[in-house]
């Protein structure tokens, strides 16, 4: 069998499993769901391995029709990196959710989670603009429903998330319609070749920036995130911050680096996105420092990190270091953020709340969970030898290459803020002076501490061995170097 | 682009815009829903004027029918007034809407006219697809992967609606004799329409989504008029909701393993496969839409 024929299975297998898991009665559904998710994880790892061994870019036309008649799936180095992230975090969340149903939102979690996973895999390998739109719809709908599993208090945040997500989708759909009207094709590669510079192209790029900006919570379109992400069950929060945000990111990057040209209007859009990103880094960091609950801090931290993904639009413009730095940052953020949200969920179960003021003594009772928080925070802040450091280093290189010193300031100050709120979270778990009796938490299963800790460790190990990944990504044709 | 708009089209366009704005701005919820239904009707007419009867039909049954039923049902139990709007949100909305409209008009007027050879390609290849109607050929052969994913979206929406419901909607409603008589008269007509839309879809506008909407409407009517086994609850409901996607994916897997590749339909059996898949999809869409409607009704066990 030709390897590229594996690509449709990345989407179709989890969808089939989702439908079957939904038929399992609610009692034993956790087992079925965990088994189905594991199969999805195995498939994901197999495809990632095959892509790495094959070393090339895959293309597969569905239904036997080549573009423009049919739909094409595509995978390159960037897809490989994103798929690897989906697989690692997906498996970790599966183990975590199977261990503690309360942290996943009950039996309804499993079919929706499998749909979400299918959509995430699909966004990464889609090569057709309308197909990307449908994949985004799958992701958004499943993600909103998963937020709503957080109980009554999650209903309003979920509804708000739905509105923002759908508006983002519609803006993107408008961009897709303009592309089709102008070029007569929906295939991303053909569109890249056919689209002439002009006001229509500018409108397409602007609509995509606006739509995906809403979906990835780019300042000032971020207000839904610090409400929706903490309201969801912990396993869902981890998926939302680590993976769902990234669906918006990869679509924005693919359109931007595929289509954007040197026109003044497009350059201005890049500057606007960069400024929004820089403000997001500071605003998110400052709000995280001011927050008093773990999940809220971590959610604001996501708002800050999304700022970097917007800055990449400028830093990766014709710069291989900027591009690979951006992709590595996506992976580093995914691992670290999943570790943080899962650790926060474990602490919330142990202490009955995620308020910082109630967590003192946690470092004695659940040292592994607190260590996960700390290590993940260090990776996010970009300190060596973590994954986050590799990403920030590449981005710094790109900034120096371009002589854009102000980005160096943003990167370093953002790291400092990250370090600040990480320290605040860890400090809250210290024993208080004079605490003879450290408050004892509820017992939690050890796997709930092991999973976030493993993810946090992964963000260090990958940092040490990341040279190969950086090369893989840097060779992508996506970096067209139009600058 | 040439602007060839008659008086009727201009009136229709203005009507759609006015209805859209009014649906958002009128303070009473009942009025808002009524205007929204008018908006759906005008939009369907607009699609028909644009020579897109498939979309017109879908808009009429889904946008007007199903959404309308959901909204009217939600009205019955909630307070009649929407929370008061502040003046500045209205002003900002109108200003933003005007700017967006002008920007869109500006960009659309710069489009370089119909390009690409896609319509010609579809015409060239349609004979091998097993469908005579180009829309059906695109939906179930050329771009069948998209349609499969759309079905997954519908399934996910049903999962979502069920997850947020309290799962206690009535298995069966008690209804008066008159209601039962209405059901006896309506249901056969609805069933006939569903089958017709399904079969018509191979040669002319219609297809799984439109037929599915009719099935959904029929199930809702049946449940509300006290017909048994129409509640979409239980294992059978679940099975019928997922069967469309499962059948479609199994077809995809079998073409990949035993056939010529993912979703490649052989010329000899394509038309049978398309009709079969559309029939299963219509059932799943219909039961799914009925489930979305019934799962979140606020007064279980009571017929109105």
**A134-151 pLDDT, tens digit each:** 999 999 999 999 999 998
Q: Residue B80 has what pLDDT?
A: 58
What is d(CA A467, CA A98) in angstroms, rounded to the nearest whole number? 34
DSSP code per residue over B226-265: T-TT-S--HHHHHHHHHHHHHHHHHHHHHHHHTSSSTTPP
With a cut of 70, say whether residue B78 has pLDDT above it: no
Residue whose pair of structure tokens reads 């009955």 in the numeric block: A352
**B243-302 pLDDT, tens digit each:** 999 999 999 999 999 988 899 998 899 999 999 999 999 999 999 999 998 887 765 444
Closest CA to B204 of B42, B56, B11: B56
DSSP 8-state class, residue A184: S
Closest Cα in chain A to B115: A184
Average pLDDT over residues A456-471: 84
What is d(CA A232, CA A240) in angstroms, rounded to the nearest whole number? 9
Q: Contact A303/A278 with Cβ under 8 angstroms?
A: no
Does A22 sit within 8 Å of B149, measured CB to CB?
A: no
Structure tokens that stand for A335 in this block: 């691992």
Interface ipTM: 0.93
Q: Contact A154/A197 with Cβ under 8 angstroms?
A: no
Closest CA to B270 of A65, A73, A16, A17: A65
Q: Which of B115, B117, B238 sits opposite A23 (nearest CB)?
A: B238
Q: Contact B190/B260 with Cβ under 8 angstroms?
A: no
Q: Which of B108, B116, B160 sits opposite A145 (nearest CB)?
A: B160
Alpha-carbon torsion (B26, B32, B38, B42), positive or negative = positive
With a cut of 80, say whether residue A481 has pLDDT above it: no
| Chain B contact set for A15 (CB, 8 A) | 152, 245, 249
Lowest mean pLDDT among A274-278, A310-314, B129-133: B129-133
Does A63 sit within 8 Å of B142, measured CB to CB?
A: yes
Residue whose pair of structure tokens reads 């993912």 in the numeric block: B262
Q: Which of B110, B163, B262 sits opposite A148 (nearest CB)?
A: B163
Q: Residue B303 has what pLDDT?
A: 41
Bridge partners (DSSP) of residue A59 are A74
| Chain B contact set for A134 (CB, 8 A) | 146, 149-150, 153
Does A65 sit within 8 Å of B261, measured CB to CB?
A: no
Residue whose pair of structure tokens reads 């990504």 in the numeric block: A473
| Chain A contact set for B248 (CB, 8 A) | none
Average pLDDT over residues B166-172: 77
CB < 8 Å from B in window 152-211 of A: 155, 174, 178, 181-185, 196, 198-200, 203
CB < 8 Å from B in window 15-44 of A: 15-16, 18-20, 22-23
Bridge partners (DSSP) of residue A74 are A59
Report helix, strand or coil for A74: strand
Is A135 an interface residue toward B (CB < 8 Å)?
yes
Does A22 sit within 8 Å of B242, measured CB to CB?
A: yes
What is d(CA B159, CA A111) in angstroms, rounded to the nearest whole number? 8
What is d(CA B264, CA A462) in angstroms, rounded to the nearest whole number? 40
Does B249 sit within 8 Å of A19, measured CB to CB?
A: yes
Q: Residue A480 has what pLDDT?
A: 41
DSSP code per residue over A164-233: HHHHHHHHHHHHHHHHHHHHS--BHHHHHHHPPSSHHHHHHHHHHHHHHHHHTT-TTS-TTHHHHHHHS-
Q: Residue B300 has what pLDDT?
A: 46
Task: Give counts: helices (H), strands (E), chain A.
Answer: 20, 2
Q: Residue B2 has what pLDDT?
A: 44
DSSP 8-state class, residue A293: B
Domain boundaries, chain B: 123-304
Does A63 sit within 8 Å of B263, measured CB to CB?
A: yes
Q: Residue B302 has what pLDDT?
A: 44
What is d(CA B237, CA A470) in angstroms, rounded to the nearest whole number? 49
Q: What backbone phi and psi angles, to 5 degrees, belong to A75?
A: -135, 130
With a cut of 50, say whether residue A479 has pLDDT above it: no
What is d(CA B163, CA A115) in angstroms, rounded to the nearest whole number? 14
With a cut of 60, say whether residue A477 has pLDDT above it: no
What is d(CA A74, CA A188) in angstroms, rounded to the nearest whole number? 10
Question: Most confidently modeled of A91-100, B49-58, B66-75?
Answer: A91-100
| Chain B contact set for A16 (CB, 8 A) | 245-246, 249-250, 253
**B43-66 pLDDT, tens digit each:** 999 999 988 888 888 888 887 788
Does B106 sit within 8 Å of A108, measured CB to CB?
A: no
**A435-462 pLDDT, tens digit each:** 666 667 788 889 999 999 999 999 888 8
What is d(CA A303, CA A387) in angstroms, rounded to the nearest whole number? 19
pTM of this structure: 0.94
> Please, what is the average pLDDT of chain A?
91
Does A112 sit within 8 Å of B111, measured CB to CB?
A: no
Helix (H) or strand (E) holding A75: strand A72-75
């Amino acid at each position: 069998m030709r390897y590229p024929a594996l690509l449709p299975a990345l989407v179709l297998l989890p969808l089939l499993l989702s439908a079957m898991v939904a038929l399992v009665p609610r009692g034993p559904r956790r087992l079925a769901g965990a088994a189905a998710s594991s199969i999805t994880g195995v498939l994901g790892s197999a495809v990632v391995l095959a892509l790495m061994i094959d070393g090339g870019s895959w293309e597969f036309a569905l239904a036997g029709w080549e573009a423009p008649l049919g739909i094409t799936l595509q995978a390159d180095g960037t897809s490989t990196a994103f798929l690897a992230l989906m697989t690692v975090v997906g498996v970790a969340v599966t183990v975590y959710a199977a261990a503690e149903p309360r942290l996943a939102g009950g039996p309804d979690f499993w079919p929706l989670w499998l749909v979400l996973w299918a959509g995430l895999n699909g966004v990464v390998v889609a090569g057709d603009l309308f197909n990307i739109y449908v994949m985004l719809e799958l992701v958004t709908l499943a993600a909103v429903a998963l937020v709503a599993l957080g109980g009554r208090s999650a209903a309003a945040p979920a509804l708000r998330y739905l509105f923002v997500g759908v508006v983002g989708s519609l803006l993107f759909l408008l961009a897709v319609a303009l592309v089709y009207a102008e070029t007569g094709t929906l295939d991303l590669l053909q569109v890249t070749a056919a689209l002439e510079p002009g006001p229509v192209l500018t409108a397409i790029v602007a609509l995509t920036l606006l739509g995906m900006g809403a979906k990835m919570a780019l300042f000032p379109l971020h207000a839904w995130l610090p409400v929706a992400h903490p309201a969801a069950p912990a396993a869902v929060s981890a998926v939302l911050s680590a993976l769902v945000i990234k669906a918006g990111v990869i679509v924005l990057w693919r359109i931007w680096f595929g289509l954007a040209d040197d026109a003044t209007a497009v350059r201005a859009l890049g500057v606007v996105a960069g400024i929004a990103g820089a403000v997001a880094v500071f605003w998110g960091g400052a709000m995280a420092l001011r927050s008093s609950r773990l999940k809220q801090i971590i959610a604001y931290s996501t708002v800050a990190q999304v700022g970097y993904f917007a800055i990449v639009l400028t830093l990766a413009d014709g710069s291989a270091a900027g591009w690979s730095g951006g992709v590595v940052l996506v992976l580093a953020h995914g691992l670290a953020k999943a570790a943080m949200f899962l650790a926060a969920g474990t602490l919330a179960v142990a202490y009955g709340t995620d308020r910082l003021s109630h967590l003192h003594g946690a470092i004695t009772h659940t040292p592994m969970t607190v260590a996960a928080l700390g290590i993940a925070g260090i990776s996010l802040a970009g300190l060596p030898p973590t994954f986050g450091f590799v990403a920030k280093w590449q981005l710094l290189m790109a900034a120096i290459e371009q002589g854009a010193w102000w980005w160096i300031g943003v990167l370093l100050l953002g790291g400092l803020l990250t370090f600040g709120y990480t320290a605040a979270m860890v400090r809250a778990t210290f024993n208080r002076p004079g605490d003879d009796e450290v408050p004892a938490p509820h017992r939690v299963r050890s796997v709930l501490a092991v999973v976030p800790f493993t993810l946090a460790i992964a963000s260090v190990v990958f940092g040490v061995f990341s040279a190969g990944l950086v090369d893989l990504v840097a060779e992508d044709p996506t970096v067209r170097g139009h600058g | 682009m040439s602007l060839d708009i008659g008086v009727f089209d201009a009136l229709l366009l203005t009507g759609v815009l006015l209805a859209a704005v009014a649906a958002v701005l009128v303070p009473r919820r009942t009025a808002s829903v009524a205007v929204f239904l008018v908006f759906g009707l005008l939009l369907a007419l607009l699609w028909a004027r644009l020579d897109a009867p498939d979309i017109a039909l879908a808009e009429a049954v889904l946008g007007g029918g199903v959404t309308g039923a959901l909204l009217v049902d939600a009205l019955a139990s909630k307070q009649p007034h929407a929370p008061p709007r502040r003046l500045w949100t209205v002003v900002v909305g109108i200003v933003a809407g005007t700017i967006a409209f002008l920007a869109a008009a500006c960009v659309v007027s710069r489009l370089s006219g119909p390009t690409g050879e896609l319509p010609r390609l579809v015409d060239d290849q349609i004979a091998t697809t097993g469908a005579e109607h180009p829309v059906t050929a695109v939906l179930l052969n050329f771009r069948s992967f998209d349609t499969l994913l759309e079905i997954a979206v519908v399934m996910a929406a049903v999962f979502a609606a069920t997850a947020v419901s309290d799962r206690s909607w009535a298995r069966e409603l008690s209804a008066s004799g008159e209601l039962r008589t209405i059901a006896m008269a309506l249901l056969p007509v609805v069933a006939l329409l569903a089958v017709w839309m399904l079969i018509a879809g191979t040669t002319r506008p219609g297809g799984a989504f439109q037929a599915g909407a009719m099935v959904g409407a029929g199930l809702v009517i049946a449940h509300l008029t006290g017909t048994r086994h129409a509640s979409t609850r239980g294992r059978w409901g679940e099975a019928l909701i997922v069967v469309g996607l499962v059948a479609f994916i199994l077809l995809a897997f079998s073409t990949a393993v035993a056939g010529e590749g993912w979703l490649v339909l052989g010329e000899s059996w394509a038309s049978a496969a398309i009709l079969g898949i559309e029939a299963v999809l219509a059932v799943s869409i219909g039961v799914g839409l009925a489930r979305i409607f019934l799962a979140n009704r606020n007064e279980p066990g009571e017929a109105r």
